[in-house]
């Protein structure tokens, strides 16, 4: 019994050490966990951020990064943030709509005219407002990382038009808007955790999924899915989130150092994202994947009724209109 009690105490001490995320000593340590592979552009941006923070703080602050679901799934990491047992994580904006409805606009189809329009909105007051909208759920958004545009990839059936999706089970994120989108296009939306998707594709639980090129490539889903249709239906950024408990425990100077390092990492990430996206498309083609460039207008027309639904949700609908207006107001920047 005595040995068992000692063992339990040691385990508790180990867990306490592992999940202490902003340790106030000579060095403030923040633990950041996420589910991406270390070769992913977003992970590389986080490493860049950690280096910049160490440099700006003269070694007074440090970020320890745990990739590949070492500390849990995306959902588990968010839950750890909310109780202050983890400092930071990366989460898709689609999943963030479960905490703040304003994030819903990112999961709506064809919101942005092009890549530059998306960047301009994310970098504006609109983007910042959305980042801070989840604070009442103890989650503070720090920045957006480019996650490109999401497109369909399938095992056996190529997608040229929305009609080709009829009857196909398509994996989506745990996002009501993503589910509505796939269903509106004629598919059968099936939410599945990212870490379980490869097996689900292998076993035929779903007929396909949708994601950006680097994620399609690095997940090795191209080993199962041989068709990639670049309809680019949504442009959903990743969001770097910090626990409000951890953020509020930092001094104003530490908050400044961290935000500056974060902002610099977004610029770096956008550069390496473009390179990674092109490389991913080249590699999956070498592996036998057929790249399809469908007529996007057919997909846009099919999902128009989705916008009408949000007229009964003025906060989201008005934000959507604001984003559309922002496009025309800033057209000279492009």
Question: Whole-angstrom Cα distance, residue 44 to residue 28?
Answer: 21
Residue 12: burial class (beta carbons within 10 Å; 0-12, 13-18, 19+): exposed
Q: Is the model more confident about 56 or about 2?
A: 56
DSSP H or E run through 69: none
Q: Which of 260, 254, 276 is nearest to 43 (CA)?
A: 276
Angle at the Cα of 215 from the Cα atoms of 80 and 316, rounded to 5 degrees: 65
Q: Which CATH architecture has domain 2-146+238-280?
A: 3-Layer(aba) Sandwich (3.40)
Q: What is the CATH number of domain 150-235+287-333?
A: 3.40.190.170
Pairing relationship of beta strands 169-172 and 150-154 according to DSSP bridges: unpaired
Question: Whole-angstrom Cα distance, residue 214 to residue 195?
Answer: 15
What pLDDT, on a 0 to 100 scale, did the predictor assign at position 134?
Answer: 97
| Chain region(s) in the chain for CATH 3.40.190.170 | 2-146+238-280, 150-235+287-333
- 8 A C-beta contact, residue 122 and residue 144: yes
Q: How confident is the model at residue 195 (pLDDT cuts 50, 70, 90)?
A: confident
- 8 A C-beta contact, residue 334 and residue 220: no
What pLDDT, on a 0 to 100 scale, did the predictor assign at position 174?
Answer: 85
pLDDT digits (tens, 9 = 90+) for 19-43: 555 555 689 999 999 999 899 999 9
Least confident of 78-82, 128-132, 199-203, 330-334: 330-334
pLDDT digits (tens, 9 = 90+) for 226-235: 999 999 999 9
């Amino acid at each position: 019994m005595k040995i068992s009690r000692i063992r339990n105490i040691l385990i508790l001490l180990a867990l306490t050490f592992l999940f202490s995320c902003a340790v106030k000593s000579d060095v403030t340590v923040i633990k950041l966990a996420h589910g991406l592979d270390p070769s992913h552009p977003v992970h590389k941006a986080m490493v860049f951020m950690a280096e910049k923070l160490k440099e700006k703080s003269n070694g007074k602050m440090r970020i320890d990064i745990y990739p590949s679901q070492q500390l849990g799934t995306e959902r588990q990491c968010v839950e750890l943030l909310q109780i202050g047992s983890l400092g930071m994580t990366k989460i898709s904006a689609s999943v963030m709509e479960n905490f703040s409805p304003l994030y819903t606009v990112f999961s709506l189809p064809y919101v942005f005219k092009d890549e530059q329009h998306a960047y301009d909105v994310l970098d504006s007051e609109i983007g910042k407002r959305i980042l801070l909208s989840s604070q009442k759920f103890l989650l503070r958004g720090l920045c957006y990382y480019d996650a490109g545009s999401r497109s369909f990839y399938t095992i056996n059936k190529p997608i040229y038009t929305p009609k080709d999706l009829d009857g196909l089970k398509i994996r989506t994120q745990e996002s009501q808007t993503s589910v509505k989108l796939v269903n509106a296009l004629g598919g059968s939306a099936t939410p599945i955790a990212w870490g379980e998707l490869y097996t689900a594709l292998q076993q035929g639980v779903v007929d396909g999924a949708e994601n950006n090129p680097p994620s399609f490539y690095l997940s090795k889903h191209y080993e199962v899915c041989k068709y990639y249709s670049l309809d680019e239906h949504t442009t959903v950024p990743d969001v770097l989130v910090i626990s409000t408990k951890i953020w509020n425990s930092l001094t104003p100077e530490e908050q400044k150092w961290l935000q500056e390092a974060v902002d610099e990492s977004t610029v770096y990430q956008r550069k390496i994202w473009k390179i990674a996206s092109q490389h991913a498309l080249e590699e999956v083609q070498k592996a036998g994947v057929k790249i399809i460039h469908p007529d996007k207008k057919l997909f846009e027309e099919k999902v128009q009724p989705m916008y009408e639904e949000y007229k009964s949700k003025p906060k989201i609908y008005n934000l959507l209109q604001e984003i559309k207006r922002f496009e025309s107001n800033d057209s000279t920047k492009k």
